[in-house]
């Protein structure tokens, strides 16, 4: 046992840096919550870290301010030393019960038949793009039906909406087993409703969805144009809401952007908490890849992870696909993956945007040529009238003739926020009402885009 114990200085340092906002809540959740004090020597504090990624981030971002604050508090020139240690016990790894459970004694519970076991809060990597949504989801899971009800999680494809929703379901299933949790994609809700009509079993359908404690419905944008199903969901919503039962929905866009959707149902979604997910930044992308590697128990060099993180900026699903491709290649050829090999194997991920019959890039090019502005200006930060108007037109057309969400559109216009895209589309709609020349221009561009 060491004669030195500087744990009090370490704890006070982190406390003060958080209070002074030198370390934000998001940064703490991402980098510090799994760091543990181990021991001290005469001039060193030894910390346990879960990964080399956390170690590199500490050294790059925080070590100077931490060691300076340690000096102020202790009067000693203390340095930090690190050991990499996975504190998850082997028994916890093999248990079907998620680590979020906090009952001291609990019988083993079978996995929920509708939920993926690996979709838990423990496996969800928190970054600046999703910290609010993640914290709100945890609060819902801990007190279902009492706050943030209903909750709508929205964002583009592959950003973690389903992961968060199922994390809520898994947490409640294991920690509150007396509660009935139902998770379904919206498509299943539609099919069940149609089947109940065909078989004249509407009562059975209503009992199935109205006698639950937690209802999780994924991808409610699939209900667009389904008036009968929307009507049934409206009544289901009211029954559960009046009974203080928790509801969580996901969508690829804000409720205000849902087309051919009953206003009174959209108003029900807005009544609760709406949280959005953005594409992850570089640090979060790297952390996600590192976490996936740890789960797979596979070793890939930091250089390769950095290469993937820098080149794939769309969503988590694309990141995972690229990593899976590299891991599979490494296992098959059984040799070390170099940066050149990685670039060759991942060229389809690095060079191909989201595929669709009509792409964002295609629309941007057509509009920029029509208005004689450069594509770089269209995507850039300039806000002159000559640039802003074509940019707004392009955003409006993309929303009108494609299924891209405002988050995805904003990403392709220099990383703009989805609210900017929404404002731009509304601006064009308003101008159409007062300027008779705009709508013919838009229609001409749409015809040109579809023809080519």
Judge if 207 and 116 occupy the same domain. Answer: yes
Residues 190 and 238 in one domain: yes
CATH code of the domain covering residue 418: 1.10.1750.10
- Residues 125 and 243 reside in one and the same domain: yes
**Cα–Cα nearest to 10, from 81, 86, 60, 61:** 81
Clarify whether residues 272 and 290 are in a common domain.
no
Same domain, 136 and 256: yes
Q: Both 135 and 248 in a single domain? A: yes
Confirm whether 100 is domain-assigned: no
Which range, 103-112, 278-287, 382-391, has the best average confidence (pLDDT)? 382-391
Question: Which range of residues forms the domain containing residue 196?
Answer: 111-277
More confident residue, 426 or 295: 426
**Same domain membership, residue 190 and residue 141:** yes
Q: Are residues 337 and 382 in the same domain?
A: no
Residue pLDDT, tens place only, 190-212: 999 999 999 998 898 998 999 99
Residue 452, pLDDT score: 67
Do 63 and 136 reside in the same domain of the chain?
no
Give dist(CA 118, CA 107) in Å, integer.
20
SS (H, E, C) 228-248: HHHHHHHHHHHHHHHCCCEEE
What is the pLDDT at residue 165?
A: 96
pLDDT given for residue 173 in this prediction: 94
266 and 228 part of one domain? yes
Same domain, 234 and 150: yes
Looking at residue 291, its pLDDT comes to 85
Q: Is 101 a member of any domain?
A: no
Q: Which of 238, 259, 277 is the last residue of a domain?
A: 277
CB of 378 closer than 8 Å to CB of 394: yes
Whether 74 and 167 map to the same domain: the answer is no
The pLDDT value recorded for residue 2 is 59
Read off the pLDDT of residues 144-162 as tens digits, 9 standing for 90 and up. Answer: 998 788 999 998 778 899 9
Q: Dmax over Cα atoms in the chain, in whole Å?
A: 83
Among residues 323, 351, 379, which one ends one of the domains?
A: 351
Q: Under a CB-based contact definition with an 8 Å cutoff, are residues 378 and 387 in contact?
A: yes
pLDDT in tens, 4-27: 888 889 999 999 988 888 888 777
SS3 448: helix
174 pLDDT tier (thresholds 50, 70, 90): very high
Instruction: Give CA torsion, residues 429, 435, 438, 439, to 10 deg.
Output: 70
Compute, in degrees rounded to 10, the torsion defined by CA atoms 329, 335, 336, 339.
Answer: -50
């Amino acid at each position: 046992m060491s004669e030195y114990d500087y744990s009090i200085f370490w704890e006070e340092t982190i406390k003060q840096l958080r209070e002074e906002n030198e370390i934000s809540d998001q940064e703490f959740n991402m980098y510090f919550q799994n760091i543990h004090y181990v021991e001290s020597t005469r001039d060193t504090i030894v910390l346990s870290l879960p990964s080399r990624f956390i170690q590199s981030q500490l050294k790059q971002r925080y070590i100077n301010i931490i060691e300076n604050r340690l000096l102020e508090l202790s009067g000693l020139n203390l340095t930090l030393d690190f050991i990499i240690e996975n504190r998850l016990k082997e028994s916890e790894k093999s248990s079907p019960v998620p680590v979020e459970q906090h009952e001291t004694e609990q019988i083993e519970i079978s996995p929920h038949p509708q939920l993926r076991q690996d979709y838990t809060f423990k496996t969800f990597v928190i970054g600046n793009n999703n910290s609010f949504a993640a914290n709100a989801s945890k609060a819902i899971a801990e007190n279902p039906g009492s706050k943030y009800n209903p909750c709508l999680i929205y964002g583009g494809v592959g950003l973690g909406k389903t992961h968060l929703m199922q994390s809520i379901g898994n947490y409640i299933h294991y920690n509150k087993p007396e509660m009935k949790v139902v998770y379904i994609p919206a498509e299943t809700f539609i099919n069940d409703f149609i089947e109940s009509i065909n078989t004249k079993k509407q009562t059975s359908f209503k009992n199935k969805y109205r006698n639950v404690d937690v209802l999780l419905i994924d991808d409610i944008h699939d209900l667009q144009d389904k008036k009968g199903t929307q009507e049934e969901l409206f009544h289901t919503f009211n029954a559960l809401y009046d009974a203080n039962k928790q509801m969580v929905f996901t969508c690829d866009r804000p409720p205000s952007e849902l087309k051919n959707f009953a206003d009174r149902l959209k108003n029900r979604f807005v009544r609760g908490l709406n949280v959005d997910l953005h594409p992850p930044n570089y640090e979060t992308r790297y952390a996600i890849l590192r976490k996936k590697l740890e789960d797979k128990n596979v070793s890939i060099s930091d250089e390769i992870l950095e290469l993937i993180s820098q080149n794939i900026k769309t969503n988590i699903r694309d990141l995972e696909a690229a990593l899976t491709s590299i891991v599979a290649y490494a296992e098959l050829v059984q040799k070390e993956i170099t940066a050149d090999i990685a670039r060759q194997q991942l060229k389809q991920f690095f060079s191909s945007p989201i595929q669709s019959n009509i792409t964002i890039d295609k629309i941007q090019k057509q509009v920029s040529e029509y208005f004689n502005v450069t594509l770089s200006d269209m995507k850039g930060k300039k806000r002159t009238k000559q640039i802003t108007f074509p940019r707004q037109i392009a955003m409006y057309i993309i929303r009108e003739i494609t299924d891209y969400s405002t988050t995805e559109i904003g990403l392709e216009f220099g990383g703009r926020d989805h609210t900017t895209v929404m404002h731009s589309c509304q601006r064009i709609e308003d101008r159409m009402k007062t300027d008779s020349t705009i709508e013919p221009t838009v229609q001409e561009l749409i015809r040109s885009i579809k023809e080519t």
